[in-house]
Structure 1
Amino acid sequence: MSSSSSTSKLTNVLGKSKSPYLLQHKDNPVAWQEFTPSTIKLAQELDKPIFLSSGYSACHWCHVLAHESFEDEDVAEVMNKYFINIKVDREERPDVDRVYMTYLQATSGGGGWPMSIFMTPTLEPFFAGTYFPKARFKSLLIRIAELWEDDKEQCLAMGKGAIESLKDMSGSGSSARLPGTLDEILATSPSSKIYAQLVQMHDARYGGFAQGGSRSGGPKFPSCSMTLEPLARLASYPLSEQIDREKAREMGVKMIRGIWKGGIHDWVGGGVARYSVDAKWIVPHFEKMLYDQAQLVTGSLAFALISNPDEAEDEAHRKILEEDRKLCFDLAADILEYTLRDLKSPEGGFWSAEDADSAPAKGAKKSEGAFYIWGAQEIDEVLRDDAELVRDFFGVEKEGNVELQHDMHGEMRGKNILHQAKEYAVVASKHNKSEEELTSVVQDALNKLKKRRDTRERPGLDDKILTSWNGLMLSALSQAASSLPDEYPIQSQCLTAAEEVASFIKGRMWDADKRELARSWREGKGPIGQTDDYAFLIRGLLDLYEASGRGEHALWAVELQKRQDELFWDNAGGGYFASAPDEHVLVRMKDAQDAAEPSATSVTLHNLSRLSLIHSDEYENYENRAELTYLSIGQELKQMPRTFGYSACGLMDLEKGYREVILIGSSSDPMTADLLRLIRSMYAPNQVLIHMDPSNPPTGLAKINAVVKSLIASIEAGKEEGVSLRICENGTCGIPVRNIVEAKKLLGVS
């Protein structure tokens, strides 16, 4: 094989990057380049195939591949000799990652990170994989280099064919819109299909829904858009006689309980890991992602509100609902305490993730979970007289409690992952204590263990701030400010933190002159924003508006939606492209399928429905775009609605019917506070709350909302006195009520 001498002169340029993931690879002997026009032009000039490696900073297997291969001089020599090597942070460039991940999934039947793609100099992929052990990876590099030299035409043909197939799959090669109507989609009963599938997949023993459709086994993800969000609607809305609403509620709470009791929940420091590798939720993949924290807060709050003791059938049922409600509030508060303490930047935005790996001792090689796991002897040293009780409660064993099958590299041998191994009553009885005494001992032990753990080396922090994930966190904080009981101390911090997030993004990441969002911030702005940045932020702002009553948040959401429509709307096929046009992203795809995060499409569908009530002048425009977006994924909603679960939630909200709840009353009036508490005690994602304080009327909203404009005129004319509550549906407002009893009847609260 021959090679160009120009290739060998390339050096690793990642030291100039701002991405934490790329900076992790700045000292590799691989001559890494960034995904830029100049790099692609260089590959074409040298006529060299490109090796593209995509991952993210908290990715454990990305680290394994790096340690084994990218840090190896021999492997790097082969890479540098025969390839142009490009590193991509999938979180900053999901548009690039999405194209090649779709190719990987189509050709291998699976996907994941690290993603390893071999492609032509014109960016057309011809081979893909994920993690490769060192020997296999080096052999693969040589084989592909030989193939390029001996049969370049085959590689080029495979690449062109792959791109054409991706265009067909994405619909970007066709302008034909699928025929049909929204009623035709609803007639297939997506909600009943989702319910039937979740019942079939539900693990009744440990809670949750196993990957791959089976009832048990791992891995298990704290999935919200595909599980908790649909289950919450199924539990709340009387959509079909085929749906057992109480069973839907129980499945959601069972999953939350499994997460709370398991090792996936960080008992010592709070927060939740990315997923559990086992069915029991015990052994986590230890990285902590901001998007998981945010979504689990909103999911837990939803099930707390659904588990309403006032709706109990009898005393036994009331006790169950009280326990379930407390569990859900506890998890939400636990996660909020962690994120506000460990992921919030001093400027107000939230950092992206904490790594899975850290060094178990000073100077030692990093290993997965080292920060989180415990030897029995160390627990004995820290807890002394309480050690036996705590070991019993958390399932701690002298030899360690991690099964060999879940510890492939032997990094946790002899160590323990804390999880609730036994019920409080069982442990309390065994150790001759009341449950209250046991709870106190466990909490005191966790405080001591945290103090010890804080002396360890912390996992790496991905300190970039992503607009999309901060939008999710903005929703979580806003909803917590509204519905988390004030008996949880963290509740008092949530609204302030939410305002700070919005302020940070608007001040640092929004260019008002260009009307353009940045996707990320780390020592300055990162790449331009994509559809999910706009969609997730809009949702967060709408939640913040309802929590704060400050109309400027709703007005900015309206402006952002207009810009999202301008940048990403598909005039030919309906729906939204995931990113703006880019000549180096060969397939302009759509983000429609829900996964660990909700899709930009599904979140936008909810935003459009809510905005249609806030911006009445644009009602028909919003409704039309929503319908065309539903039709653009109509076949998928008919055939596999669970995969598009959060979009299906939007359909359920439409079936239930959207409404405006308008409260007029001074913020200082106790009756206003009572009515706000009542409204916020409901699980009602199908409604928009508009609070109008007569002393500070929302004049900005009045310019875009006919009802608000009319009511302000009534207030100024003295026709609206005292505190009142009314509901507006289908453009018509009902008669106002002025006391709690009538308000409960109006809202349908028990």
Structure 2
Amino acid sequence: MKIFNFLLLIFFLMTQAVKAENITVNHPSPYVRMHANDAVKWQKWDASVLERAQKENKLIMISSGYYACHWCHVMRKQSYTDAEVAAVLNNKYIVVKIDRELNSSLDAYLMDFLQRTTGHGGWPLNVFLTPWGYPLTGLVYLPKKQFMEVILKLETRWKKDPAGLTELALNSFRQAEKLNTEDVYISNKGLLGLFLNTLNQSMDEMEGGFGNGVKFPMPYLMMSLLSVYEKNKDKALSAFIRLTLKQMSEKGLHDVIGGGFFRYTVDQSWSIPHFEKMLYGNAAMIGLYVKAYRVFNDEQWLRIAEETMDFVLREMQSESGFYVSSLNAQDASGEEGGNYLWDRKKLTDIINGSENRNLRKNVTYHAVSGSDKVLPVGLWYGEISDKSRLKLLQKRRANPPVKDDKLVLSWNAYLLSSMVELIKVSDRKQYRQSARQLYKKIKSKASSDIVRNRQGHGQKYLDDYAFITYSLYQWNTLLKTDTDQALILSLVMQSVNLFSDKNGWRMTDDALIPMPASQKNIADANLPSAEVALLKLFYKLGIKQRKVNEIIQRVRRQVDVHVVNNPLEFSSLIILKRQYALD
């Protein structure tokens, strides 16, 4: 009887559904929170996802996005709140919603998969995985009709041939793993030559910036070019850098009324922006224009850096003392760019009433597709009185931007680093006061466990450790103190022990799904390379430790094949190897 009861218990346990938690309105990410009441029943990203997928033999769909993303909101409205789409996804798939800025390692891996297999990427990022966590296929935004066709066809194929699709996913994973372990030796001179040749093919010498389509500001690449110019004083390079700085500050990328920079423009001539403003992007632009001021000794670049910092302090500081992640591309009513677009006559009346003739002469108005409003463009800072500027800001505050209030520690730490650089060249006391407040907040977090996503699968991230440590070092250097030396050294070694191995770097300490081998080198992305931040600390702190020496020797001997194939994405590493003669 006891054996029978035991077997009955085992059978009962085996037939019970895996308990899975859905996302809730209490999630720390407003992007994830807004999906809590979708018709699609999104599951929280944790170990139960794989357990349930394997038990029910269903594909997993991970949908990644962020709050400031316009097309993420569009796809939610068209598909994820739709009962017909939800009926398929809820019954045929295990669906997971993540914030790309909190789950950055997973998002980067899935984005790399999509770009490697389709040649394009973007957000919302939707990737379908086997029940064991291997990516199979993916897509970005699709209208409801096309999206329905994809999910129905894919589910039918999975039912017919799960073994074949699993093998397909495994082969793709093995290819990614092979790529991550390939390395080459190239001298620093050869690497710099490759970098400059690739640069010449990408430079837009008419409009500034890089490429002939959508224009991103590429601040880390621009800072690397300033470093190259400091060495070679090349006149053509100087002209290109100045042109790009001018175009970015005087055209649509720059918010001429409220200050700060948008994430990118949708056209080659920098005219019409995609209207989200990111914390990391504006922190980087502060650093870029400070460096441009130092190199060229041109006051206009310092003014742009100060104006951008004023915007960040005014619009992005939260009640917690940290800074929010972004301002949305949509206003509260759902209109893209609504907070930044104006009725032309009303704006013209205000500007024509200005006492400054240069302002009236220089401002231009760009028509925006799909809107009867206009975007004002022109370098106004220093040309408009505080009174006129305040009048425009007050009118705009009636429709404030929607904020993503989640905390990303690495972005806040990088902002502190930019604050330090600005403090060195600006006499404005409020910058030092704001930096001190942020320093105290960051140090408090650094003194405890630095973990993201406590509501789901809590993880530690290399970016958080690297940029928190570097910002603490910079603040201590600014104040000429060693108050935090023990903490800084401890964080450096924690970073090494948690995230480095013989091959390279892991972006997080614990992944739920199989990940390819660690990366030999880390590219500049939303933030500059975390690898470069740590390498700088190794040298600045004079750390003599076996693991640290092994990392330095690895970087000296070889680079990831990705560095050779895409040198512009690794410009910070290329400049650092040259600076410290890592050859």
Task: Settle same-fold status: TM greater than 0.5.
Answer: yes
Match among 214, 217, 223 for residue 229 of structure 1: 223
Provide the secondary structure at the position in 1 that maps to 2:377. Answer: coil
Change over 3 Å in CA distance of 1:611–1:600 after alignment to 2: same
1:127 is matched with 137
Q: Shift of the alpha carbon at 1:648? A: 0.7
1:449 is matched with 392
For 1:467, the aligned partner's letter is L
Seq. identity, %: 25
For 1:224, the aligned partner's letter is P
For 2:187, the aligned partner's letter is I
Q: Is there any run of 5+ residues in structure 1 with no aligned partner, and where? A: 172-176, 211-216, 239-243, 309-324, 425-434, 658-750
Q: Shift of the alpha carbon at 1:619? A: 7.3
Match among 565, 582, 594 for residue 511 of structure 2: 582
Larger radius of gyration: 1
Change over 3 Å in CA distance of 1:549–1:620 after alignment to 2: farther
Residues 531-680 of structure 1 mapped to structure 2, 5 A cutoff: 531-570=462-501, 572-573=502-503, 575-587=504-516, 589-590=518-519, 592-612=522-542, 615=543, 618=544, 622-633=548-559, 635-638=561-564, 640-655=566-581
Q: TM-score, with normalisation over the residues of structure 1?
A: 0.71
Q: Spell out, residue by residue over 1:126-165, the C-alpha distance to the aligned partner (whole angstroms, 9 max, x if none).
A: 1111111111001111111111112222222222222222
Q: Shift of the alpha carbon at 1:444? A: 4.3
For 1:648, the aligned partner's letter is I
Change over 3 Å in CA distance of 1:44–1:498 after alignment to 2: same
Q: Is there any run of 5+ residues in structure 2 with no aligned partner, and where? A: 1-14
Provide the secondary structure at the position in 1 that maps to 2:152. Answer: helix
Provide the secondary structure at the position in 2 that maps to 1:33. Answer: coil
Contact conserved, 1:609 with 1:622, CA < 8 A, in 2? no
Residues 299-698 of structure 1 mapped to structure 2, 5 A cutoff: 299-308=288-297, 325-359=298-332, 364=333, 366-380=334-348, 382-383=350-351, 385-386=353-354, 393-396=362-365, 401-402=366-367, 407=369, 410=370, 413-420=371-378, 439-440=383-384, 444-456=387-399, 458-484=400-426, 486=427, 491-508=428-445, 510-511=447-448, 516-519=449-452, 527-570=458-501, 572-573=502-503, 575-587=504-516, 589-590=518-519, 592-612=522-542, 615=543, 618=544, 622-633=548-559, 635-638=561-564, 640-655=566-581
Contact conserved, 1:195 with 1:234, CA < 8 A, in 2? no
- More relative contact order, 1 or 2 (CA 8 Å, 6+ apart): 2
Contact conserved, 2:20 with 2:44, CA < 8 A, in 1? no
Tell me, in whole angstroms, the C-alpha distance in 1 between the residues paired with 2:318 and 2:200. 41
Match among 28, 36, 40 for residue 18 of structure 1: 28
Contact conserved, 2:43 with 2:97, CA < 8 A, in 1? yes
Match among 165, 176, 179 for residue 169 of structure 1: 179
Contact conserved, 1:297 with 1:332, CA < 8 A, in 2? yes
2:188 is matched with 186
For 2:203, the aligned partner's letter is H
Tell me, in whole angstroms, the C-alpha distance in 2 between the residues paired with 1:386 and 1:263. 21
Change over 3 Å in CA distance of 1:520–1:611 after alignment to 2: farther
Tell me, in whole angstroms, the C-alpha distance in 1 between the residues paired with 2:73 and 2:356. 36
Contact conserved, 1:270 with 1:334, CA < 8 A, in 2? yes
For 1:193, the aligned partner's letter is L
Tell me, in whole angstroms, the C-alpha distance in 2 between the residues paired with 1:9 and 1:655. 55
Provide the secondary structure at the position in 2 that maps to 1:357. Answer: strand
Change over 3 Å in CA distance of 1:547–1:459 after alignment to 2: same
Tell me, in whole angstroms, the C-alpha distance in 1 between the residues paired with 2:18 and 2:564. 53
Q: Spell out, residue by residue over 1:275-326, the C-alpha distance to the aligned partner (whole angstroms, 9 max, x if none).
A: 1111221211110111111111111111111113xxxxxxxxxxxxxxxx11
Match among 277, 294, 297 for residue 286 of structure 2: 297
Provide the secondary structure at the position in 2 that maps to 1:117. Answer: strand
Contact conserved, 2:293 with 2:301, CA < 8 A, in 1? yes
Contact conserved, 1:509 with 1:518, CA < 8 A, in 2? no
Q: Shift of the alpha carbon at 1:478? A: 0.8
Change over 3 Å in CA distance of 1:91–1:250 after alignment to 2: same
Tell me, in whole angstroms, the C-alpha distance in 1 between the residues paired with 2:546 and 2:425. 32
Provide the secondary structure at the position in 1 that maps to 2:374. Answer: coil
Provide the secondary structure at the position in 1 that maps to 2:117. Answer: helix
Tell me, in whole angstroms, the C-alpha distance in 2 between the residues paired with 1:584 and 1:200. 38
Tell me, in whole angstroms, the C-alpha distance in 2 between the residues paired with 1:288 and 1:348. 19
Q: Spell out, residue by residue over 1:693-750, the C-alpha distance to the aligned partner (whole angstroms, 9 max, x if none).
A: xxxxxxxxxxxxxxxxxxxxxxxxxxxxxxxxxxxxxxxxxxxxxxxxxxxxxxxxxx
Q: TM-score, with normalisation over the residues of structure 2?
A: 0.90
Tell me, in whole angstroms, the C-alpha distance in 1 between the residues paired with 2:19 and 2:453. 32
For 2:325, the aligned partner's letter is S
For 2:393, the aligned partner's letter is K
Provide the secondary structure at the position in 2 that maps to 1:643. Answer: helix
For 1:565, the aligned partner's letter is V
1:40 is matched with 50
Contact conserved, 1:351 with 1:464, CA < 8 A, in 2? yes
Provide the secondary structure at the position in 2 that maps to 1:15. Answer: coil
For 1:499, the aligned partner's letter is R
Contact conserved, 2:263 with 2:275, CA < 8 A, in 1? yes
- What is the count of residue pairs matched by the alignment? 567
1:152 is matched with 162
Provide the secondary structure at the position in 1 that maps to 2:207. Answer: coil
Q: Shift of the alpha carbon at 1:636? A: 4.3
1:676 is matched with none
Contact conserved, 1:349 with 1:501, CA < 8 A, in 2? yes
Q: Shift of the alpha carbon at 1:71? A: 1.3
For 1:604, the aligned partner's letter is L
Change over 3 Å in CA distance of 1:143–1:392 after alignment to 2: farther
1:209 is matched with 210
Q: Shift of the alpha carbon at 1:208? A: 1.5
For 1:263, the aligned partner's letter is G
For 1:56, the aligned partner's letter is Y
Tell me, in whole angstroms, the C-alpha distance in 2 between the residues paired with 1:60 and 1:581. 31
Q: Shift of the alpha carbon at 1:631? A: 3.8
Contact conserved, 2:184 with 2:561, CA < 8 A, in 1? no
Tell me, in whole angstroms, the C-alpha distance in 2 between the residues paired with 1:639 and 1:46. 41
Q: Shift of the alpha carbon at 1:385? A: 3.5
For 2:535, the aligned partner's letter is L
Change over 3 Å in CA distance of 1:199–1:155 after alignment to 2: closer
Q: Shift of the alpha carbon at 1:347? A: 3.3
Q: Shift of the alpha carbon at 1:544? A: 1.3
Contact conserved, 1:32 with 1:86, CA < 8 A, in 2? yes
Tell me, in whole angstroms, the C-alpha distance in 2 between the residues paired with 1:249 and 1:554. 38
Provide the secondary structure at the position in 2 that maps to 1:460. Answer: strand
Change over 3 Å in CA distance of 1:151–1:620 after alignment to 2: closer
Contact conserved, 2:23 with 2:33, CA < 8 A, in 1? no
Tell me, in whole angstroms, the C-alpha distance in 1 between the residues paired with 2:547 and 2:90. 53
Q: Spell out, residue by residue over 1:241-275, the C-alpha distance to the aligned partner (whole angstroms, 9 max, x if none).
A: xxx53333332222221111012111111110001
Tell me, in whole angstroms, the C-alpha distance in 1 between the residues paired with 2:419 and 2:122. 30
Contact conserved, 1:218 with 1:276, CA < 8 A, in 2? no
For 2:95, the aligned partner's letter is N
